Amino acid sequence: MLTPFLRPGLDVLFVGFNPHPYSWERGRYYAHGSLWRVLRKSGLAPDIRDDSQLFDYNFGITDLVPDRPTREAKEIPDAEYREAAVRFRRRLSRLKPRVVCFTGKDVFRHFAALKRSANVDYGLAGRFRESLLFVAPFPSHKWVTDAEKARHYRAIQRLLDGRLPTPAESIKVIN
């Protein structure tokens, strides 16, 4: 079982699809270490080794569907993701993290109720109330190098430093 790391006012809240059985059995998010390796390489959390250190950085973590481990996210029906996204948006309204980082484009698509065909880019994707929404590569993707993943995650620091896109850049706003 995994216990989400949540509290009001986090700087960054990482959000995945749902737990992988390997992590679920060990009681640790990203028990295989991919997210922690990318966060170290990005400089966002230079000393992080596992989820027990998240609050040291004022970071948190959860999953859109936090209580259903599967080997692949696609094992969960779209209807279940829709229901989970509604609950998660209510939770975000209470927690008010500065940045919500979706660890994968499809996680964001589910959260934002976008069609699978909707184009989603890595980076700042909009706002939800007080929180900035950010899309980063899935940390375990084998076809994206760690250096490329770290480059995307490094951009979160610019948001935390208050460096937002210029007004000429458009961002999607989720209500």
Q: What is the pLDDT along the chain (175 residues), one digit of tens a residue?
A: 899 999 999 999 999 999 888 999 999 999 988 999 999 999 999 999 999 999 999 999 999 999 988 888 888 999 999 999 999 999 999 999 999 999 999 999 999 999 989 999 999 999 999 999 999 999 987 888 999 999 999 999 999 998 876 544 444 545 4
pLDDT at residue 169, as a whole number: 47
pLDDT at residue 175, as a whole number: 44
Cα 98 from Cα 96, distance rounded (Å): 6
117: tokens are: 């065909």
Amino acid sitting at position 102: F
Buried b or exposed e, range 66-77, using 16+ CB within 10 angstroms: beebeeebeebe
What DSSP element (H or E) covers 122?
none
Question: Checking DSSP bridges between strand 172-174 and strand 131-136, what pairing results, if any?
Answer: unpaired
Kindly report the number of other CB atoms within 10 A of residue 25's CB atom: 13
pTM: 0.91
Domains by residue range for the chain, with CATH = 12-166 (3.40.470.10)
